[in-house]
C-alpha cells in the first residue's frame, strides 16, 4: 500500500487523468491526511467531488485551496462555476473576479463571467465579458455563439446574425449555431433561408431531435402542415427527451383540432414527467376548449411557470401576497392584467363578483388605452395605469386569467350578464337610414397566430359589398388600415377617430352588427352587448371559442361564430357570412 504522501499525490493526479475519480479522490484524501498542503491537490479533490455531484464537499476543497493561495485562478474559476449552478450569483461574481485578478488573460474566465452576467440579467456586463474573451481568443465558436444568443435576446438581430455566421465560418458543422441562426431567420420570416439551414443541419446530424423540431415548427408556420407533422413525429423517434417531443407533437395536433390525438400525447408526456409545465398548459387549453372547465382551469395556471413566461408574457412581482382563494372580507385586492387587450376586456367581468366577496378596495390595473372604457365597469373602486411602474400595495393581488378558476366558472356558470361595459356616450356621427356594419379584417401582427387568424387583406371581404342597403364602417386600426385608401367600394373609415377603446366603443354602439376576425374588437362588442359575427381560423383557433360551437357562452345571444372548414379557407367563411348578412338585412 502506498504511504508516501508525495507518491500518493502523484497517484491521485494519474488516476484523475485516467478518469478513475473514486481512486483519485482516495489517493488525494490519504495525501491530505498525511499533511500535504498542495493547492493543486485540493483543487483535484474539489473536481472529483463536483463531478460526483457532491457540491458541498467540492466547495469546501476549492475554498481551502483559495485560502492557501488566493491568486489560484483555476480553483477560483471552478468555485465560481459551482456557485453559478446554485444561482448564488453574487458569490459567483466575486469568485470570477478573483480568478481574473489572478489571471486576467484567461479567456475562459471572461467567457464564464459573461455566462454568469447573462443568466443573472446583467446583459451589458455580459456582452463586455464576451467581447473581452473574444479579444483574447478571436474566433472561438463557443464565445461567438453565446455572444450571438445574447444579442438575439436583446433584439439586435443583425449583430446576432453576424455572430452566428462567424461561428459557421470557423466551424461549418456547428449544429447549435445553425439552429440559432435558423430560428433568428425564421422569426424574421426569412423562411427559405431558415429551412435551408435546418436541412443542412439534418444532413450533418440526421438523428438530432431538436433539428427536426425546429424544421417542424417552421413548416407549420408556412402552413405546410403534412410535412410539419412528419418532422415532429421524426423528432419523437429520435428524441432522447420524449416528454418535450410528445408535447411539441401534441401542441401541433391541438392546433389542428385533432383533440383526441393531442390529449393522448400530453397524457403520455405527463406520465413521464407529471410536472412538465408546457404539457400541463397545453392539456389545460385543450380541456377548456372542450368545455371541461373544472379540469382545465387548474392546468391553465401552468402559464405562470418561469419556463413559460417568455411565451405567455406573464410576469409580475409584488411585495404582497397573490390571492389564491382566501376570504376577501375587509381586504383590498389588485387585479393585474395579462396577455392581450381582448383578454382584459373579457375577464374584467369578474370585478363585481370579487366585490360581492367583501373586498373593500378593488383596484383594476389596465393599460392607458382601456382606462376610459373600464370606468363604466361595476365593482371597481379604482383604476390605475399599468405602465411598468410599481403598482399600489394591497392585501392581495391576482392575475385576471386566474379568476375564472378561483371563482368556480364552469360551462354552465359563466358570469355573462350583458352588457357589462358601456361607451362614454356622445352624439351619433354615422350615416342614418341604412343597416350599419363594422368590419375588422386584421389583428395585431405580433400575435403568434396572426398569420392564421387575420385575413390576407381587405379584398377578401369583397363578397360582402354585394349586399345592398348596408353602410360598411371600418374599425380597423393599425395594420391593414392603409388598405382603405386604395379601396374602390365606399367604406366609412373610422381609424383616425379611434384613440382608445372608449372611442371604438362609441362607434360600435352606433352599429347594427360587427363582423370581425378574432381580435379585441370582438370582446369589446360582446361586452357592450352588440351583435358580432366572428370569423375563426381552422388552425390554432383560440381555446375560448371552444370546439365546434357556433355560439359563445361568454357572450350569449350576441356572438355568432363562423369557422373555416379547412386552414386558410377564408373564401368559404366570407361566403357564409355574406349569405347570413343578406338574410339579416332582408328581414
Say what percent of the chain tops pLDDT 90.
Answer: 70
**Residue 409 in this model has a pLDDT that exceeds 70:** yes
Identify the band that residue 268 occupies on the pLDDT scale cut at 50, 70 and 90. very high
What whole-number distance in Å separates Cα of residue 463 and Cα of residue 581? 11
Question: How far apart (Å, rounded) are the C-alpha atoms in residues 258 and 242?
Answer: 20
**HSE of 311, CA atoms in CB hemisphere, 13 A:** 12
Query: What pLDDT score was predicted for residue 3?
Result: 66
384-388 mean pLDDT? 90
549: left (phi over 0), alpha (psi -120 to 50) or beta: beta
Among 80-94, 213-227, 412-426, 535-549, which stretch is predicted with the lowest mean pLDDT? 80-94
pLDDT score for 313: 65
List of long-range contacts for 192-196, beta carbons under 8 Å, 24+ apart: 194/218, 195/219
**Average pLDDT for residues 162-173, to the nearest whole number?**
95
Residue pLDDT, tens place only, 485-524:
887 777 899 988 999 999 999 999 999 999 999 999 999 9
Note the residue count of the chain.
587
Place of cell 369578474: 350
pLDDT at 426 over 80: no
Read off the pLDDT of each residue in 182-191 and give the average, rounded to a whole number: 95
Handedness of CA 333, 336, 337, 339 (dihedral sign): negative
Residue 2 pLDDT exceeds 80: no
Distance in angstroms (rounded) separating the CA atoms of residues 76 and 53? 18
Give me the mean pLDDT over the 303-307 stretch. 87
pLDDT, tens only, 41-55: 888 889 899 998 998
Return the pLDDT at 312: 61
Q: Is the pLDDT of residue 4 over 80?
A: no
Q: What DSSP string describes 540-567?
A: S--GGG-SS-SB-TTSTTTEEEEE-SST
Binned at pLDDT 50, 70 and 90, residue 281 comes out as: very high
Q: Compute the distance between CA of residue 252 and CA of residue 317 in angstroms, rounded to an integer.
A: 32
The CA dihedral of 449, 455, 458, 459, to the nearest 10 degrees, is 150
Judge whether 372 and 343 are in contact, CB under 8 Å.
no
pLDDT interval class at 311 (50, 70, 90): low
Look at residue 156 in the predicted model and tell me its pLDDT.
95
Cell numbers for 68 = 492557501
The CA-based angle 512-513-519, given to 5 degrees, is: 145
Angle 165-167-171 (CA atoms, 0-180°, nearest 5)? Answer: 120
Contact 511, 437 (CB under 8 A): yes
In this predicted structure, the answer to whether residue 193 has a pLDDT above a threshold of 70 is yes
In three-state secondary structure terms, 202 is helix
Q: What is the CA radius of gyration of the chain?
A: 30
Amino acid at each position: 500500500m502506498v504511504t508516501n504522501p508525495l507518491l500518493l499525490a502523484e497517484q491521485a493526479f494519474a488516476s484523475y487523468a485516467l478518469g478513475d475519480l473514486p481512486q483519485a479522490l482516495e489517493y488525494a484524501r490519504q495525501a491530505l491526511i498525511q499533511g500535504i498542503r498542495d493547492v493543486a491537490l485540493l483543487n483535484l479533490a474539489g473536481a472529483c467531488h463536483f463531478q460526483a455531484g457532491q457540491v458541498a464537499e467540492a466547495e469546501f476543497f476549492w475554498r481551502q485551496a483559495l485560502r492557501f493561495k488566493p491568486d489560484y485562478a483555476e480553483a477560483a474559476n471552478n468555485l465560481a462555476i459551482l456557485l453559478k449552478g446554485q444561482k448564488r450569483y453574487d458569490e459567483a461574481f466575486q469568485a470570477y473576479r478573483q480568478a481574473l485578478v489572478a489571471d486576467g488573460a484567461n479567456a475562459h474566465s471572461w467567457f464564464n463571467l459573461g455566462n454568469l452576467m447573462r443568466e443573472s440579467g446583467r446583459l451589458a456586463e455580459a456582452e463586455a465579458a464576451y467581447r473581452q474573451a473574444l479579444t483574447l481568443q478571436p474566433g472561438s465558436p463557443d464565445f461567438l455563439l453565446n455572444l450571438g444568443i445574447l444579442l438575439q435576446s436583446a433584439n439586435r438581430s443583425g449583430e446576432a446574425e453576424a455572430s452566428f455566421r462567424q461561428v459557421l465560418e470557423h466551424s461549418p458543422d456547428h449544429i447549435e449555431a445553425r439552429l440559432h441562426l435558423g430560428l433568428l431567420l425564421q422569426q424574421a420570416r426569412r423562411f427559405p433561408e431558415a429551412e435551408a439551414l435546418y436541412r443542412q443541419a439534418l444532413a450533418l446530424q440526421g438523428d438530432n431531435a431538436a433539428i427536426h423540431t425546429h424544421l417542424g415548427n417552421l413548416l407549420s408556420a408556412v402552413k405546410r402542415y403534412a410535412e410539419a407533422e412528419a418532422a415532429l413525429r421524426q423528432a419523437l423517434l429520435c428524441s432522447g427527451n420524449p416528454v418535450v417531443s410528445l408535447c411539441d407533437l401534441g401542441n401541433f395536433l391541438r392546433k389542428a383540432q385533432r383533440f383526441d390525438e393531442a390529449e393522448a400525447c400530453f397524457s403520455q408526456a405527463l406520465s413521464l414527467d407529471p410536472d412538465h409545465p408546457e404539457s400541463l398548459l397545453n392539456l389545460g387549453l385543450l380541456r377548456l376548449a372542450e368545455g371541461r372547465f373544472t379540469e382545465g382551469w387548474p392546468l391553465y395556471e401552468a402559464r405562470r411557470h418561469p419556463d413559460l413566461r417568455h411565451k405567455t408574457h406573464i410576469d409580475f412581482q409584488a411585495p404582497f401576497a397573490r390571492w389564491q382563494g382566501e376570504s376577501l372580507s375587509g381586504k383590498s385586492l389588485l387585479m393585474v392584467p395579462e396577455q392581450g387587450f381582448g383578454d382584459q376586456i373579457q375577464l374584467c367581468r369578474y370585478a363585481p363578483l370579487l366585490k360581492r366577496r367583501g373586498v373593500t378596495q378593488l383596484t383594476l390595473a389596465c393599460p392607458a388605452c382601456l382606462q376610459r372604457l373600464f370606468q363604466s365597469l361595476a365593482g371597481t373602486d379604482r383604476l390605475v395605469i399599468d405602465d411598468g411602474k410599481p403598482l399600489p400595495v394591497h392585501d392581495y393581488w391576482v392575475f385576471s386569467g386566474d379568476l375564472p378558476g378561483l371563482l368556480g366558472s364552469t360551462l354552465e356558470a359563466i358570469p355573462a350578464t350583458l352588457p357589462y361595459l358601456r361607451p362614454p356616450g356622445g352624439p351619433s356621427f354615422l350615416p342614418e337610414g341604412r343597416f350599419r356594419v363594422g368590419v375588422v379584417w386584421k389583428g395585431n401582427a405580433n400575435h403568434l397566430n396572426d398569420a392564421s387568424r387575420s385575413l390576407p387583406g381587405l379584398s377578401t371581404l369583397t363578397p360582402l359589398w354585394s349586399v345592398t342597403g348596408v353602410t360598411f364602417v371600418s374599425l380597423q386600426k393599425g395594420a391593414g388600415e392603409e388598405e382603405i385608401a386604395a379601396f374602390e367600394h365606399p367604406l366609412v373609415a373610422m381609424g383616425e377617430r379611434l384613440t382608445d377603446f372608449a372611442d371604438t366603443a362609441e362607434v360600435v354602439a352606433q352599429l347594427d352588427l360587427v363582423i370581425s376576425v378574432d381580435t379585441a374588437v370582438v370582446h369589446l362588442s360582446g361586452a357592450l352587448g352588440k351583435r358580432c359575427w366572428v370569423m375563426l381560423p381552422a388552425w390554432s383557433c383560440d381555446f375560448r371559442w371552444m370546439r365546434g360551437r357556433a355560439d359563445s357562452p361568454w357572450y350569449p345571444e350576441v356572438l355568432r361564430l363562423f369557422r373555416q372548414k379547412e386552414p386558410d379557407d377564408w373564401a368559404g367563411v366570407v361566403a357564409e357570412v355574406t349569405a347570413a348578412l343578406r338574410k339579416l338585412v332582408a328581414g
